[in-house]
Structure 1
């Protein structure tokens, strides 16, 4: 997992932003909850979904490299896909976060989104092969 390359403080930022994003559509799916539980367990982060009051600017300031920002966006897009679709509200929120990170490059965002989608396709294809 690419989040292994982040500091513990940066992983906390990813979790906080992901929990905040999951609640964006006012409907946190079972898949999103499982992702957040898995992430918190993997990195020893307290599992707490109430992230509506986080200071996003302060959180983003902890992502002090392009690599950390790209990994964070990748994780946020990944949780957005967990409920089966990358909704418009989620896309808008991620694009806004990317702009605040100084990554308002549409091509880069599209590449990250394609990377995540290909990962999901790869897992799905493997599951189909193993079942078939």
Structure 2
């Protein structure tokens, strides 16, 4: 939803970081694959999960505004929740990326994480009410 505010180059970085993050726990779940496929098709990005060797420092140079950095973290945390839990390896990687992009404020990261969690709760609640479970 907020990724539409990013440039194409920024979206590519979000995808690359997300693919790299999905592999952090050495187990890319079906939900993570679906997220990455949806993101790549929505924004015309080549679907390629082989991002283990991405240079994070080089990649993040296109994240040149606070909004683009917050949206990136939001997307990465959203991906992390897709398999049902925000695991330790994923948390460590998200915090590392947050630090590299200058958003290593724990309070801000907690706000973004809460925003993502509430979004999932909102969707789940709606599905329950509509009987689409």
TM-score scaled by length of structure 1: 0.99
The one-character-per-residue Cα deviations of 1:30-79 (angstroms, maximum 9, x if unpaired) are: 00000000000000000000001111101111100000000000000000
Show CA shifts across 1:88-130 (max 9, x none): 1111110110000011100000000000000000000000001
How many residues in Structure 1 have an aligned counterpart in Structure 2? 132
SS in 1 for 2:76: helix
Q: Distance in 2 between matches of 1:114 and 1:15?
A: 22
Paired residue for 1:128?
A: 128
Q: Which residue is 2:106 aligned to?
A: 106
Deviating beyond 6 angstroms after TM superposition, the runs of 4 or more aligned structure 1 residues are: none
Residue 32 of structure 1 aligns with which residue? 32
Q: Deviations over 1:4-40 (max 9, x none)?
A: 0000000000000000000000000000000000000
The equivalent of 1:41 in structure 2 is 41
**2:79 aligned partner:** 79
- Which residue of structure 1 aligns with residue 67 of structure 2? 67
Structure 1: which 5+ runs fail to align?
none
